[in-house]
Chains A and B, each alone.
Chain A
Amino acid sequence: MKKQLVSLAAMAGAALCVAASPAMAHDLAVVSWGGALQDAQKAVYFTPFQAQSGLKMTDEPWDGGVGVLRAKIQGGNANWDVVEVESEELALGCEEGLFEKLDYSKIGGKDAYLPAAVSECGVGNIVYDFIIAYDGDKLKDGPKNWSDFFDTKTFPGKRALRQGPKTNLEIALIADGVKPQDVYKVLRTEEGVERAFKKLDSIKPDLIFWKAGAQPPQLLASGEVAMTSAYNGRITAANDKDKKNFKIVWDGALYTIDSWVILKGSPNQDAAYKFLDFAGKAENQKSLPNYVAYGVTNAAATSLVDPKLMPVLPTAPANMANVEAIDDSFWLENLDRLTERFNKWAAK
């Protein structure tokens, strides 16, 4: 409530400023995903940044969608400066020229970040993984990788995967012996797609498909499935809040990165760069995992994170050993056709 009041006041203030001066001067406005993540960012980035830099800033939540950003910029009403976007929005918005091209020299240089976090229009902010989860109380000797996930003889029971082809085709190929880093190369060929569906076919009678990220922990808790694909944060949250003993398998995980972008034409570019620099520093990033189970993008930050959190941290070296980033350019191009094909396969 307080947050809402503050942002409401900020918005009213911003509106007044717009009315008063055509220069659209407003405090630096940072937009993130709300909820537990934004609360953590407030504690780790927003509040300390204001104290240290003496700059004023406001923060707001949003629900994503490149259309929202497009409307803001084309409508000439860009009252946001820095926005946290998912990788697909980053790719689309960068193509459309919705974001400023980043000058990495102002935020510590490209080498300061994990290579996957560096891109033309955005700098990575959090890392999260698509992993295997199972209930450690029910399965003492659980699966070690995606091949085990497809091994219904050794590990009987149902499995849950996300509805649709995205992530599932990658998982099937990894289970079939393709190295994670080669997955999209294989998937770009007709034989690769064929191979993935054939692998999925091998456990089709045991598959259940979930739609919302909240479902995998529920499916595990109710005993409906022996193992499931899931977002790592949901599983850690279930362990913390509901005292579950869910285990995470990081081998062959698919990860994705949310990035900070600066909206095109932002009048607060200096402040925005100062903020990105602050939020990109290892000593500031290291506390984020204390609040939410996301990985951090500064190459040096992970080593500073509380060692107790390493097992659940996506960017811990052990957890990053054999993973692959979800390829948005592949899915932007192939989602429609492969979704049709996935449903054809499912109906067979």
Chain B
Amino acid sequence: MSNMGGVSAPPADAVLSDTSSLKTRLRRAERMRKVTAFGLVAPLLLFIVITFVVPIGSMLWRSVDDSELSTVMPHTLATLKKWDGHALPGDESFRALAADLTVAHDAGTANVAARRLNYDINGLRSLIMTTARKVPALDSADPRAAFIGLDPRWGDIATWGAIKRARGPLTDFYLLAAVDLQRDATGAITRTPADHAIYQDVLIRTFRISLTVTLLSLVLGFPVAYLLSTQPAKIANILLILVLLPFWTSLLVRTAAWVVLLQNEGIVNHLLIWLGIIDHPLRLIYNSFGVHVAMVHVLLPFMILPLYATMKAISPVYMRAAASLGAPPATAFLRVYLPQCLPGIAAGCLVVFILSIGYYITPALVGGAADQMLSYFIAFFVTDSVNWGMASALGAVLLTATLVLYAVYSQLVASGSVRMKK
């Protein structure tokens, strides 16, 4: 614009007003376009907010929310504010507990507190429930002795520690438990006793199975995708249907089919015995072998399709050029073909891995008791024990671990070791 000033004939102010109105119009048009574009994505955005952001937010909230005890035992908690957890609390705590439990018993809310405390220490459920039933008859002159006479666990500092820990409104109890940690009566973080510290192992198992399944899918899917991309369209389409057909079949049906194939009296074992390869049926299912086979089968199309799309776009000219320049086939493949496949490999691995870590139904049906992944425990806490805090905390751990892995992955992509096509 600046060099136009000297050349152009019209007066300067006309040019100025002209450009400014042009600018305004441009800006207005730009804004209109943005509004239209937003209008177009708004339904999707709303959908994502409702089905994705809100549930995940509420899950994360539930993993730290701790409001049960503060509604049922407000007076007891108030008296425990200054309690340090080294000796039994004073009489006023016992008196407040008696008052709270009397109210809770009449209102039918004692079970809420009982359930919450039982998450922390096994047995507190029945302790609270029976105490709440008997509390009106207690001697109020010496409440401490009366409570301990009712059940010696009231004389245990750990019981009071659990009550204080559950004071809310927020807690790290579930999140700590989800990584095998806990707090003692004084509030220090300690390890969960070994006989039920399982979640670190389960998390590692989940990632190990997912990684193995991803690698197996890659090894098996790569040649298939290569074959598909090199065949003439007619044959490729038929082969593609063979890949897609199981993809369209219900997950449950495919998993059940593996049960039929792999069981002791199944087709695979019968075939192997008939061929004389084995004498006794091999255990192929209800163990980690079955889990890997079924999961690889179910997830293979998610690997093949992105690979196929990438390979289809690679011109055969490059390989011919490499060969004509004297590269042996292996070198040509490694240095010319494979680098061009990397975007497909990266996309396929990411999809398969992320789908794997959330797997629930396939390991549940074809795995043994030692092959269950993290989502199995999330489902257990939701449906069997109705412990939403624990279910949410495990979900939060899985989400965090996945996000960290994804961050590492995108770091790799950004640093160029896995270059994505833009």
Real complex partners, A and B?
A: yes
Does A198 sit at the interface, judged by CB under 8 A?
A: no
Are B372 and A343 closer than 8 Å at their CB atoms?
A: yes
Docked complex: B316-367 residues within 8 A CB-CB of A: 364-365
For window 62-86 of chain A, which residues contact chain B by CB distance below 8 Å? 67
B195 at the interface (CB under 8 A from A): yes
Chain A interface category by residue count? 20 to 34
Select one of A333, A341, A342 contacting B118, CB under 8 A.
A333
Instruction: Assess whether B202 is in contact with A343, with CB atoms less than 8 Å apart.
Output: yes
Q: Assess A347 versus B380: contact at CB under 8 Å? Given A95-B129, A333-B125.
A: no
Within the complex, the shortest CB–CB distance from A36 to chain B, in Å, comes to: 23
Neighbouring B residues of A340 by C-beta, 8 Å: 196-198
Structural contact, A337 and B196, CB atoms closer than 8 A: yes
Contacting residue for B110 out of A95, A163, A208, CB 8 A? A95
Residues A152-191 near B (CB distance < 8 A): 158, 163-164
Which residue on chain B has the smallest CB distance to residue A67? B386
- With both beta carbons as reference points, the residue of chain B lying nearest to A190 in the complex is identified as B195
Say yes or no for B108: interface residue by CB 8 A criterion. yes
Cβ of A339 within 8 Å of any chain B Cβ, yes or no, is yes
Q: Which of A67, A332, A344 is within 8 Å of B196, CB to CB?
A: A344
In chain B, what residue has the closest Cβ to A336?
A: B385
Question: From residue B34, how far is it (CB to closest CB) to chain A in Å?
Answer: 44
Q: Are B369 and A163 in contact (CB under 8 A)?
A: yes
Given A342-B369, A344-B196, A347-B201: A208 and B286 interface contact (C-beta under 8 Å): yes
Chain A nearest Cβ from B13, distance in angstroms:
72
Which residues of A from 181 to 217 have beta carbons under 8 Å from B? 207-209, 211
Measured CA separation A254–B387 after assembly (Å): 26
Tell which of A97, A208, A337 touches B122, judged by Cβ atoms closer than 8 Å.
Answer: A337
Q: Is the interface of A mostly helix, strand, loop or mixed?
A: helix
Binary A-proximity of B98-126 (CB < 8 A = 1, otherwise 0): 00000000001111000000110011011
| Docked complex Cα distance between A346 and B368 (Å) | 8
B264 at the interface (CB under 8 A from A): yes
**Contacts A208-B368, A211-B364 given: A339-B380 contact, CB under 8 Å?**
yes
Q: Within the complex, what minimum Cβ distance (angstroms) separates B260 from chain A? A: 8
CA distance A230 to B126 in the complex (A): 30
Q: In angstroms, how far is the closest chain A Cβ from the Cβ of B238? A: 34
Whether the Cβ atoms of A223 and B264 lie closer than 8 Å is yes
Q: Which residue of A lies closest to B180 (CB)?
A: A340
A52 at the interface (CB under 8 A from B): no
Q: Verify if B22 is at the interface (C-beta below 8 Å from A).
A: no
> Which of chain A's residues have a CB closer than 8 A to the CB of B380?
164, 339
A343 touches B265 (CB 8 A): no
Residues of B within 8 A of A306 (CB): none
Q: Which residue of B lies closest to A334 (CB)?
A: B122
Q: In the complex, which residues 230-276 of chain B have their Cβ closer than 8 Å to any Cβ of chain A?
A: 263-266
Q: A95-B111, A158-B264, A347-B205 known; 17 other A-B pairs, CB under 8 Å?
A: A95-B129, A97-B108, A208-B286, A208-B368, A211-B365, A222-B263, A222-B264, A222-B266, A333-B118, A336-B122, A336-B381, A337-B122, A339-B380, A343-B198, A346-B369, A347-B369, A347-B370
- Provide 11 A-B residue pairs closer than 8 Å at the C-beta atoms, listed in order of the A residue: A209-B286, A209-B369, A211-B365, A222-B263, A332-B125, A333-B118, A340-B198, A343-B369, A343-B370, A346-B370, A347-B205
Residues of A within 8 A of B (CB): 67, 92, 95-97, 158, 163-164, 207-209, 211, 222-224, 329, 332-337, 339-344, 346-348
Residues on B close to A: CB < 8 A? 108-111, 118-119, 122-123, 125-126, 129, 194-198, 201-202, 205, 263-266, 286, 364-365, 368-370, 372, 377, 380-381, 384-387, 390
Shortest Cβ-Cβ A-B pairs, 9 listed: A346-B369, A97-B108, A340-B196, A223-B265, A346-B370, A347-B370, A95-B111, A333-B125, A208-B286
